[in-house]
Amino acid sequence: MLYALSTCQWCHKTKVLLEELGVAFDYDYVDLLEGKEQDDAMNTVERWNPSGSFPTLVIGNKRAIVGFREQEIREALKV
């Protein structure tokens, strides 16, 4: 699950990388959510990444990679 912002270029790069890697993923543009939906998403992001920053990539509900860390993302998703 990718938590991203629609205006953030590092989020954009992360999404492009995931598409390129051909992995199945869902994403939320948290800035486009409103009210309770946005609150819920933020609480989830903060659970994985206490600074509440973007992009936060949660892999398999097990670990999170914060920021566009290309090498780390590639290795974590290696089959």
Partner 1 sequence: MNVPEVTESSVESAYLALRTDAEKNGYRLNPDAEFTKNLVRGLLKNEQRYGYHSCPCRLASGKKDEDLDIVCPCDYRDNDLEEYGACYCALYVNEAIARGQQKVAPVPERRPPRSQRGKAASVKVTSTTAMPIFPLPVWRCKVCGYLCAREQPPGVCPICKATKERFERFV
Give the interface with partner 1 as residue ranges (CB under 8 A). 5-12, 30-32, 34, 42, 46, 50-54, 66-69
Nearer Cβ to partner 1, position 10 or 27?
10
Report, in Å, the least distance between residue 74 CB and partner 1. 14
Looking at beta carbons only, is 18 or 30 nearer to partner 1?
30
Nearest to 44 by CA among 26, 23, 22: 26
Instruction: Tell me how far, at minimum, the Cβ of 78 lies from partner 1, in Å.
Output: 20
Taking residue 38's Cβ as centre, other Cβ atoms within 10 Å add up to 14
Host H or E run for residue 10: helix 9-21
Helices (H) and strands (E) in the chain, counts: 3, 4
Residue 24 or 34: the one with the smaller Cβ distance to partner 1 is: 34
